[in-house]
Amino acid sequence: MSAMTERLARHALQIDVEAGEPKLKEIALCCVLDLVTAAIAGSGTAAPHAALGLIDMQGTGDAPVWFDDRQSSLWLAVLHNGLCASALDIDDGNRAARGHPGASVIPTVLTLGASLPEVTGSAILSALIAGYDVGVRIAASQRPDAIATRQTGRWAAFAACAAAGRLLGVSQPVLSEGLAIAGVLAPNQRANGSSGYSRATGNLVKEGIAFSARTGLEALFLAQRGFTGPIDVLDHDRFYDQDRLMADLGHRFEILDTYFKPYACCRYIHPALDALSQLMHGHGLVADDIERMDVYTFSQALRLANSCAPQTLVGLQYSLPFCLAVLAVEGEEAFLPVSETLLFRKDLVRLAERVILSIDEEAEARFPRETMAKLQITLRSGRKLSSALTAPEGDPREPIDRAHLSLKLRSVLTNRGISELYSRAIDAVECLGRGNPSPVFALLSASLKRT
């Protein structure tokens, strides 16, 4: 019987967006539009800025450095572009994977694709679908008792490798070896994130997504040159659920279960934010009405750093109390994207300190299939208002379509003072759907002015 890497490689190389249902192409285009939004929001922030300091060390080249007037080696460009995409936690995700495939797959494909003169829109979209499908399947099949971390970097190298292999049209043996190499060399991520042992989660490594993308691409190129890995890396049921790995292979595509994020913070925080938004709008509340907020949710959300006075934007992204305070005081627009001007504000800190976190039994039982929370607000008048158990907006059952993603893009561009890019970005994604990726490449190579 073939190894799992061989079967997944064969599957990835056969994916053709034009042979699938129209909704498959549409969700792939939504993923590109959302990733462009996330990368614009994250460009110029601390993580990608630090990566650009490596140009002299990692060599020059003609690969596009997104939203900058420079070019670099392919390796550094993939790292930088992935860091832009994942910097502000506004990129897409997948519930079964408990992570973020887009910030690994799409920078890999679009950065590599820009160097391929004959590449088509169909090839780009087919590669994206392949990367999501392989990466999410592997992530969802991980046995939590055998693989200690659930962070995206643990599996995103598989996704990037599969996507690049499909784009380049490599042979099945090369791609299966690439997957084997990627699976071994991907960052282990044992310390970071809500499933890690470190409590200092407000750091720029985050889930290691961009580093994993670069590793996946490197693994494929090594395999092309005869390098080998443990081809049976996925064949052991103690580590990977074999049935989940192969479930409906070729008939159900994981990209269709992508969720999109209306807030630039950890997905575990979103259901509580939606519950707060519904209560405030439904009852005409303002922040000064609120005396206390009690959040009832799943235990993994309580494992976030949850600082009431985060010192960095990453710390903010992993603080449920502080994010609730931001929404109550500043509204939803403050998350598109979050800004350093929110840090160190005493009014936000004081309100965050009045947020109490507890475990809800039903939310705990439904996690990780669903991320849910309910909220009770105690008003200064003494009155108490409670929400239902709430699922976050943007999940497949509460979908955000391309029209809503366009509004998200507009908000990010407006808040960044570059609203003139809106029509260009929308048109570029439309052109990609019609087969021409050049406008997307040109958009990503544009140098952005900063406010």
**pLDDT tens, residue by residue, 401-429:** 999 999 999 999 999 999 999 999 999 99
| Distance between CA atoms of residues 309 and 316, nearest Å | 8
Q: Say if residue 59's pLDDT is above 90.
A: no
Continuous segment of H or E residues that includes residue 218: helix 209-224
Is there a single domain that holds both residue 192 and residue 83?
Answer: yes
How many helices (H) does the chain have, and how many strands (E)?
20, 8
Contact 88, 101 (CB under 8 A): no
DSSP per position, 280-304: HHHHT--GGGEEEEEEEE-HHHHTS
Residue from 118, 213, 215 nearest 169 by CA: 118
| Distance between CA atoms of residues 97 and 354, nearest Å | 33
Is there a single domain that holds both residue 99 and residue 166?
Answer: yes
Q: The domain spanning residue 357 has which CATH number?
A: 3.30.1330.120
Give me 298's structure tokens.
């799943």
pLDDT band at 210 (very low <50, low <70, confident <90, very high): very high
218-243 tens-digit pLDDT: 999 999 999 999 999 999 999 999 99
Sign of torsion, CA 398 407 274 312?
positive
267-284 tens-digit pLDDT: 999 999 999 999 999 999
Contacts of residue 106, Cβ cutoff 8 Å, sequence gap at least 6: 31, 32, 35, 85, 128
pTM for the structure as a whole: 0.94
Is there a single domain that holds both residue 55 and residue 124?
Answer: yes
74-120 tens-digit pLDDT: 999 999 999 999 999 999 999 999 999 999 999 999 999 999 999 99
Is there a single domain that holds both residue 350 and residue 243?
Answer: no
Is there a single domain that holds both residue 69 and residue 210?
Answer: yes
Contacts of residue 261, Cβ cutoff 8 Å, sequence gap at least 6: 89, 90, 91, 92, 93, 267, 270, 394
Domain annotation covers residue 438: no
| Distance between CA atoms of residues 87 and 46, nearest Å | 8
Least confident of 25-29, 69-73, 251-255: 69-73
Domain that holds residue 197: 4-259
Domain annotation covers residue 417: no
Is there a single domain that holds both residue 294 and residue 247?
Answer: no
Q: The domain spanning residue 68 has which CATH number?
A: 1.10.4100.10
Is there a single domain that holds both residue 100 and residue 192?
Answer: yes
Tokens 């029509």 locate to 423
Contacts of residue 412, Cβ cutoff 8 Å, sequence gap at least 6: 37, 40, 41, 90, 336, 337
Domain annotation covers residue 117: yes
Residue from 408, 410, 207 nearest 314 by CA: 207
Q: How many CB atoms lie within 10 A of CB 68?
A: 22
Average pLDDT over every residue of 302-330: 96
Tokens 């976030």 locate to 304
Residue 54: Cβ-neighbour burial (10 angstroms; 0-12, 13-18, 19+): middle
Q: What is the pLDDT of residue 194?
A: 67
Instruction: Report phi then psi at 184, rounded to 5.
Output: -85, -40
Beta strands in 150-237 (DSSP E): none
- The length of the chain is 451
Is there a single domain that holds both residue 118 and residue 233?
Answer: yes
119-137 tens-digit pLDDT: 999 999 999 999 999 999 9
Check residue 337 and give left, alpha or beta (phi > 0: left; psi -120 to 50: alpha).
beta
Q: What is the pLDDT of residue 279?
A: 98
Is there a single domain that holds both residue 217 and residue 331?
Answer: no
Domain annotation covers residue 163: yes
Is there a single domain that holds both residue 316 and residue 359?
Answer: yes
Domain annotation covers residue 415: no
